[in-house]
Chains A and B, each alone.
Chain A
Amino acid sequence: MNSKLPQSVLLKVGMGTCGIAAGARAIYDKLEEQVKNFQNIEIDYTSCNGFCHLEPLIETIIKGKTLLLANLSAEQIPFLLENLTNKKLLSSKVLVIEKDKKLKGQNRIVLENCGIINPDKLNDYLEKDGYVALKKVLNNISPEEVIENIKKSGLRGRGGAGFSTGIKWDLARKAQSEQKYVICNADEGDPGAFMDRAVMEGDPHRVIEGLIICGYAIGASKGYIYCRAEYPLAIMRLRKAIIDAKESNLLGENVLNSGFGFEIIIKEGAGAFVCGEETALIASVEGQRGMPRIKPPFPATKGLWEKPTNINNVETLANIPWIIRKGADSFSALGTEKSPGTKVFSLAGKIKNAGLIEIEMGVSLRDIIYGIGGGSSTNKEVKAVQLGGPSGGCIPAEMFDTLVDYESLMSTGAIVGSGGMVAVDEDTCMVDLAKYFLQFIQSESCGKCTFCRIGTKRMLEILTRMTEGKSNMEELNKLRALAQNIGVASLCALGKTAPNPVMTTLRYFESEYLEHINEKKCSTGVCKALVIYTIDEQKCIGCTKCAKNCPVDTISGSLKKPHYIHQEKCIKCGNCEKVCPVGAVSKL
């Protein structure tokens, strides 16, 4: 077989961590093996393009039209190769989606190259105006002017706090010292967040370019990227990008022969959530336990090894090349007055179009959840959205008209945070969700401050008793008091924001707490201790399936006779409910 297509076709496989986990490697291998039989077909790989729910996927560009071939299996590859025209693909049984339509509602700056270029090829990045900003800065713009530009753009830190990036740079610039450092905070620890992973895996040179410009602006010759070890692919691609940048004189003693020298070192995190806090991160880079320090002095005056240090998160730095290239005004024209630009969010949980999105600030939550996200992925309604991980909060569906910008979200008790957005539906118990975050915080507290170390433990104990039906109203008051005190008496953001998930669920879902306390009931059925499984004698047909599938043999009854669950041994696994063919088992 040696088919020939009228023009060459490029097939790109999405190979981010999530794509690979969904099976992209097998797709790529199959393509590589089969493509030899064809002329005019080129294959390449790219990283995550944000459509995680469609993975594994291939992108085809034929006659200028970009199609996404979604949810593929390796077996479909031979068929695809034989049918590579837009018309044939669109009428085939493969799930085919037009990319432009899929991107409706989004505005991609940070993600402009993600899922488009091959992250391991410097040339791909150069073709997309990569390092143009760096060249511009080194040739024509003084460090002070760069900082003025960033200030004018209105860019605010994308790691959570939302502090002005330009002012932060200015403080580090003005600090007097022969040695200064810049650090890229890539310790994306919030559970439910994967924006920074996608940017590093998909467009590593962009992060590097942002970091070099930052170094030039504040007068630092050394930069660190502190990346969590759970992201091996991101680290691998960053390493390759640094080597390639060095070879092209984009990094090194004399960057682009400008006289400015800059080097980048990658530091792997070792699995501590608190290291996302900047002073804890500095301690970790110095080789110590990652424990936060008292501020002031701020890192801008006394940071890494007591030298002036500027720390920015991945997404913040990824915005920099765009702002320099297109101008501060183009950036501040996007989004809202106080929160200009765009923000990347990771959509996950009970949502149809789970994945990565980038929107202009000022879009409503409703537009994100129902517009881009496509609404609930289950047959239940979306009940709330959890924003900002363990430091953030839950916003109920009634408030989905809230706009996504720093101030509006803050007024709800949640935060923009790093950008993790997890939708939950009516099957999610909010008390259990609060307990989940407390569990996380409690185990990640570094132990320095008493309120954070012991207070979160006491809060967790109360929440655990609530989910077991062993709590009372007095404890609910204690929970509120603890939440307030921990917020006030902790040193760093981890402790200060630790009570947020409890505070917001208490504010918007108090009835669920009261149900657990007063009625000893969990109507979602999540809190297993409060659930009782029973069999309706009228409905039961005596098929014995439940008894056979019960792992603890606590269901009795003979063939064609109603069955009965002996509660004392029941472990509430729910197997009986799942296997019953007539819906006779129910939760009380």
Chain B
Amino acid sequence: MSDNARNIDQIIAMCGREEAAAIPILQAIQHDYGFISKEQMKEVCSKTDIKENRLFGIATFYSQFKLTPSGENLIRICKGTACHVRGADNLIDVISEELGIGIGETTADNKFTLETVACLGCCSLAPAIMINNEVYGKLTADKLRGILNEF
């Protein structure tokens, strides 16, 4: 959760009450809280024109939205074509070995969550990963271990 997280009323005031505001509202909650809880979704629906089934349908359709909290650091492995042919799968193996988690999992100490992303668009730096908002490119197993140790 970010330090100045807005409450639901503030988010609705900013994004609007109509159906078209559903995605921006979810994006704002996700941005401020790191994930979207059922309670928050219910609150949104009670205060806007958006139906609960609609909002839940949207939240589960788009891969950006998370319904469970992530660890302190979010590792996203790029699964783009260039990264794939340059060995992105090996990077997943390295992380699994080092941190003991698979894709979609969080470490027991809540320090890392591992996810994949379709493409970061940094194909010339393949294989690449993103940790929080920072992109790391041209990775090798050793380089990746070094980066993980910095956290």
**Chain A interfacial positions (CB closer than 8 Å to B):** 17-18, 20-22, 52-53, 55, 188-194, 197, 229-232, 267-273, 284-290, 346-350, 354-355, 386, 389, 420, 422, 424, 428, 433, 436-437, 440, 444, 446, 551, 573
When distances are taken between beta carbons in the complex, the residues of chain B under 8 Å from A573 are 93
Q: Tell me the complex Cα distance, A53–B124, Å.
A: 6
Question: How many residue pairs bridge A and B at CB < 8 Å?
Answer: 139
State the Cβ distance, B140 to closest chain A Cβ, in Å: 10
Look across to chain B and name the residue whose beta carbon is closest to the beta carbon of A284: B23
Bound Cα distance A53, B82 (Å): 13
Knowing A270-B27, A286-B20, A287-B21, the reply to whether A348 touches B124 (Cβ < 8 A) is yes
Ordered by A's residue number, 20 sampled pairs between the chains whose C-beta atoms are within 8 Å are A17-B122, A22-B137, A52-B125, A191-B81, A191-B82, A192-B119, A194-B121, A229-B64, A230-B121, A271-B64, A286-B19, A288-B19, A289-B57, A349-B81, A349-B85, A350-B85, A420-B123, A433-B85, A437-B81, A551-B97
Known: A193-B119, A286-B19, A386-B81. A350 touches B125 (CB 8 A): no
Q: A268-B24, A354-B82 are in contact. List 20 more A-B contacts (CB 8 A).
A: A18-B135, A21-B128, A21-B136, A188-B121, A192-B80, A192-B82, A193-B121, A231-B121, A267-B23, A270-B27, A270-B62, A272-B61, A272-B62, A287-B23, A348-B124, A349-B82, A349-B86, A349-B123, A350-B86, A440-B118
Contact string against A for B residues 56-90, beta-carbon threshold 8 Å, 1 for contact and 0 otherwise: 01100111110000000000000111101110000
Judged by a CB distance under 8 angstroms, whether B108 is at the interface is no
Identify which of residues 101-130 in chain B touch chain A, using a CB-to-CB cut-off of 8 Å.
Answer: 117-126, 128
A270 and B93 alpha carbons, distance in the complex (Å): 27
Residue of A nearest to B80 (CB): A191
User: What separation, in Å, do the CA atoms of A20 and B97 have in the docked complex?
Assistant: 29
**Residues of the A chain whose Cβ atoms lie less than 8 Å from the Cβ of B27:** 229, 268, 270
Nearest opposing residue in chain B for A528, CB measure: B89
- By a CB distance below 8 angstroms, the chain A residues around B123 are 52, 192-194, 346, 348-349, 354, 420, 422
Whether A230 and B117, one on each chain, are in contact in the complex, defined by CB atoms closer than 8 angstroms, is: yes
Complex contacts, B137 vs chain A, CB 8 Å: 18, 21-22
**0/1 interface trace, chain B 35-60, chain A, CB 8 Å (1 if under):** 00000000000000010001001100
In the bound complex, residues from chain B placing their C-beta under 8 Å from that of A197 are: 121
Residues on A with C-beta less than 8 A from B63 are: 270-272
Q: Which residues of A contact B20 (CB under 8 A)?
A: 285-287
User: Known: A230-B119, A289-B57, A354-B124. Is A21-B79 also a contact (CB below 8 A)?
Assistant: no
